[in-house]
Amino acid sequence: MRYVIGSYASLLSLMDILIYGIINSFSLALMAIGFTLVYGISRLPNFAHGALYVITGFAVWWILNKLHLNYFIAIPLALILMGLIGAAIYRFVLIRVRGMATSEIIATYALGLATLEFLRWRGFKGMTYTLPVFIEGSVDIGGVLVDLQRIIVMAIGIVVITFMWLFTHFNRTGLALRGMAQDEHAAMMLGIDSDWMAIIAMAMGSILAGLSAVVLLPLGNIVVEAGYNVLILSIAVCIVGGLGSWVGAILAAFMIGFLQIITVAYIQSHFQMVVALLAIILTLILRPSGFFGRQKELEERV
Amino acid sequence: MAVTTIERRKERLDRGIKVRTEGIYALSSLEEVSYLVLPRLLLILGILILPLLMPSLYWNRVISIVCIYALLALGFDFLAHFVGLVSLGGAFFIGVGGYAAAILNKYLGLSPVFTIPIATIGGAIICTLLLLPALPLRGVYFAIVTLMYPLTLMRIIEALNIFGGTDGILGVAGFSNKWVEQYLIIFIVIFALFGLRRLVNEDMGIVFRGIKDNDQSVRASGLSVTLYKTIAVFIASGLGSLGGAYLSHIYMWSGISQFALDFSVIPIAATVVGGGSTLVGPVLGCFILVPVSEFLRAFGTLRIVFYSVILLAFIMFRSEGLMVYAQRKYHQFERWVKV
């Protein structure tokens, strides 16, 4: 995430902190929402989340530069591809280790690691790979210059969060997903297919990871390291917020987002990731159920 | 498609030799003694002879690295399959031990004779103290916290620019004799392997397994779960720190790459490949995986891809691992019987 705010680290007034804090928080929420969805619903810690994020970036870049398609055709194509990949990961890999928490982590982590390191080996690093911003230009908000891409990040963040809320509260499939998250056995008795729901959750989670990549990557280069950072930040948001709690995840995104910006403003930009890591460690130690989690998770964790 | 009933099934019978269960009968015949002793002897002699077969400096170095990974993998297997704490932070133990040894050597001028034991005990104490608050956590959550620890330490060292920052600590003293360097770590691995095997079958090991299976019952027996977990983490982190200290002295260097992913991933891969909860399996897994990774060194990060794919394949298709499979073949007859 350094690239989102890095260049502004030197000149931070209170207004800067406010505006960039909000933008950073929305980016975090966007990144984490896919991870939270999969974890909250199918209890699958998808440690390949960061890899999916980076793959989307390369997929869009590839479609754009090798197939020479329009940017706005490339994005949906890449997102559909991500959905398929996510579903395939569940269908062919995770379904075999379902229920063994350690194996799930190790399997997804190995998958993510293999993908990211393979990309690194193929030479996907440095300044070579960039995506164009959606709209050039910038606007002035209260004396702070914000470019339009960051405004789009905010807008899409709001749209995605609203959509996910509506989806999980008013749509049949969404309600089934929530039922799965609350009580798997009861949901299965009502005829909800556990594996099918997990496939849907993984596909949606991957699409959301892809969407965040599409929106956020034009702000910087496509680098492999981003995959690791996105994974760590997603876990941080998910854990600090408490599992299965949408409100919690979003509030946690804001907490960590603002903490990061404040760290950049008053301490040093190097400490950005340290803040996220410490947030994970401290939350788990002090309040294992997360700040907005419910009793059920507490039993699982401690 | 016509439904065919299965006409044969595979029957598995334990070998009818008493040595498998109780100790004293092992002495009753030479055959039974050798049944028990040969596999162990084969392993020990095999490891001891290995450096003589490959006397070049390069391969000695590789064997030392294998042994360091073996220590880590032993710690991982012990924690994961006997205590129920899945630690994804092998790099944390290595890093702390490595930095401790390098600091003691470079800034205090102690020789490796002192730095390695001090770094082992000191590193274990530091790791245990840092992990102490995370001990009540279960399964996935303990795994996530341990995964975050090495990353955090790495970034803190980077950000504060202490201990040489990104360059690391250069000019750590090396070993004077290459055979000492080689055989010391080999003996340490053999000692750790058989020591841990003994430990998990003692009373304390039973308590450890009790914690893994049902910690409430351990608590109900009036034993402190946290105390036993602390002891277990101390042992595992001690092994890791020892490996780290050794690593610093072998490479005469200590840096943030000691917190790198390799040290977290390879021991896990070795454990999965070799067979969890056998303790021998992870050591053999290291002897298979690490040399192969040396062949792949020219390909750079492709090594990690290679491990990850092996890890994934084993966890999906052969989650029992090689050693469990081999032990089953050794201890059991198999035959086809008519249903």
Per the CB < 8 Å rule, is A96 touching B316?
A: yes
Which DSSP helix (H) or strand (E) runs through B133? none
pLDDT in tens, chain A (302 residues): 344 444 444 556 777 788 888 888 888 888 888 888 888 777 788 888 999 998 998 888 888 888 888 888 888 999 999 999 999 998 988 888 887 777 888 888 889 988 888 888 877 665 567 777 777 777 777 777 778 888 888 888 899 888 888 888 888 888 888 888 777 788 888 888 888 888 988 999 999 999 999 888 888 777 888 888 888 888 888 888 876 667 788 888 888 888 888 888 887 777 777 888 888 888 877 776 666 665 444 444 44
Q: Which residues of B touch A42 (CB under 8 A)?
A: none
Q: Which residues of B touch A273 (CB under 8 A)?
A: 151, 155
How many other C-beta atoms can be found within 10 angstroms of the C-beta atom of residue A14?
Answer: 8
- How high is the mean pLDDT of chain A? 81
Per the CB < 8 Å rule, is A113 touching B138?
A: no
A11: distance to nearest CA of chain B, Å?
A: 20
- Let me know the angle formed at the C-alpha of A87 by A82 and A88, rounded to the nearest 5 degrees: 95
Per the CB < 8 Å rule, is B268 touching A281?
A: no
What SS3 state is found at B302? helix
pLDDT of A65 reads 83
Pairing of strands B169-170, B8-14: unpaired
Q: Which long-range contacts (CB under 8 A, 24 or more apart) does B4-12 make?
A: B5/B339, B6/B339, B7/B338, B7/B339, B8/B336, B8/B337, B8/B338, B8/B339, B9/B336, B9/B337, B9/B339, B10/B334, B10/B335, B10/B336, B10/B337, B11/B334, B11/B335, B11/B336, B11/B337, B12/B328, B12/B332, B12/B333, B12/B334
Phi, psi of A145 (to 5 degrees): -80, 120
Instruction: Identify whether the C-beta of residue A256 lies closer than 8 Å to the C-beta of residue B141.
Output: no
Residue indicated by tokens 């990974």: B69
Half-sphere exposure of A193 toward its Cβ, with a 13 Å CA cutoff? 4
A172: distance to nearest CA of chain B, Å?
A: 30
Which DSSP helix (H) or strand (E) runs through B120? helix B112-131
pLDDT in tens, B65-114: 999 999 999 999 999 889 988 888 889 999 999 999 999 998 888 888 89
Chain A residue at shortest CA distance from B266:
A110
In three-state form (DSSP H/G/I as H, E/B as E, the rest C), the secondary structure along chain A is CHHHHHHHCCCCCHHHHHHHHHHHHHHHHHHHHHHHHHHHHHCCCCCCHHHHHHHHHHHHHHHHHCCCCCHHHHHHHHHHHHHHHHHHHHHHHHHHHCCCHHHHHHHHHHHHHHHHHHHHHCCCCCCCCECCCCCCCEEEECCEEEEHHHHHHHHHHHHHHHHHHHHHHHCHHHHHHHHHHHCHHHHHHCCCCHHHHHHHHHHHHHHHHHHHHHHHHHHCECCCHHHHHHHHHHHHHHHHHCCCCHHHHHHHHHHHHHHHHHHHHHCCHHHHHHHHHHHHHHHHHHCCCCCCCCHHHHHHHC
pLDDT in tens, A52-89: 998 998 888 888 888 888 888 888 999 999 999 999 99
Instruction: Identify whether the C-beta of residue B240 lies closer than 8 Å to the C-beta of residue B90.
Output: yes
pLDDT of A244 reads 61
Interchain contact A266–B (C-beta under 8 A): no
pLDDT in tens, B185-194: 999 999 999 9
Instruction: Identify whether the C-beta of residue A17 lies closer than 8 Å to the C-beta of residue A262.
Output: yes
Q: Is the whole model's pTM more than 0.90, yes or no?
A: no
pLDDT of B237 reads 94
Spatial CA neighbour of B75 closest among B162, B199, B250, B186: B199
For the packed helices B90-108 and B262-274, what is the interaxial angle rounded to 10 degrees? 130
85-144 of A, contacting B, C-beta below 8 A: 93, 96-97, 101-103, 105-107, 109-111, 113-114, 117-118, 120-121
B260-281 burial code (b ≥16 CB/10 A, e <16): bbbbbbbbbbbbbbbbbbbbbb
Cβ-based neighbours of B166, under 8 Å, separated by 6 or more:
B158, B255, B256
Per the CB < 8 Å rule, is B305 touching A270?
A: no
Q: What is the largest CA-CA distance in chain B?
A: 79
Instruction: Identify whether the C-beta of residue A188 lies closer than 8 Å to the C-beta of residue A23.
Output: no
CA distance A112 to A109: 5
Chain B residue at shortest CA distance from A290:
B141
pLDDT in tens, A90-137: 898 888 888 777 788 888 888 998 888 888 887 766 556 777 777 777
pLDDT in tens, chain B (339 residues): 456 667 788 888 877 655 455 555 556 677 777 877 888 899 999 999 988 888 888 888 889 999 999 999 999 999 988 998 888 888 999 999 999 999 999 888 888 889 999 999 999 999 999 998 888 877 777 888 888 888 888 888 888 887 877 778 888 888 888 888 889 999 999 999 999 999 998 889 999 999 988 888 888 999 998 899 999 999 999 999 999 999 999 888 888 888 887 788 888 889 988 988 888 999 999 998 888 888 887 777 788 888 888 888 888 888 788 888 888 888 887 888 887
According to DSSP, residue B54 is labeled S
What SS3 state is found at B255? coil
Phi, psi of A175 (to 5 degrees): -65, -40
For B73-108, the DSSP string reads HHHHHIIIIII------HHHHHHHHHHHHHHHHHHH
Which of B76, B149, B304, B318 is the best substitution to test chain A (most A C-beta atoms within 10 A)? B304
Per the CB < 8 Å rule, is A110 touching B137?
A: no
Interface residue ranges in chain B relative to chain A, Cβ cutoff 8 Å: 80, 86, 88, 133-134, 136-141, 143-145, 148-149, 151-152, 155-156, 158-159, 261, 265, 268-269, 272, 299-302, 304-305, 307-309, 311-312, 315-316, 319
CA distance A262 to B258: 30
Can you read off the two tokens belonging to residue B288?
């298979």
Residue indicated by tokens 């005469």: B252
Pairing of strands B253-254, A138-141: unpaired
Chain-centroid distance, C-alpha B23: 27
Give the closest of B86, B148, B265 to A113, CB-based.
B265
Give the closest of A102, A268, A277 to B152, CB-based.
A277
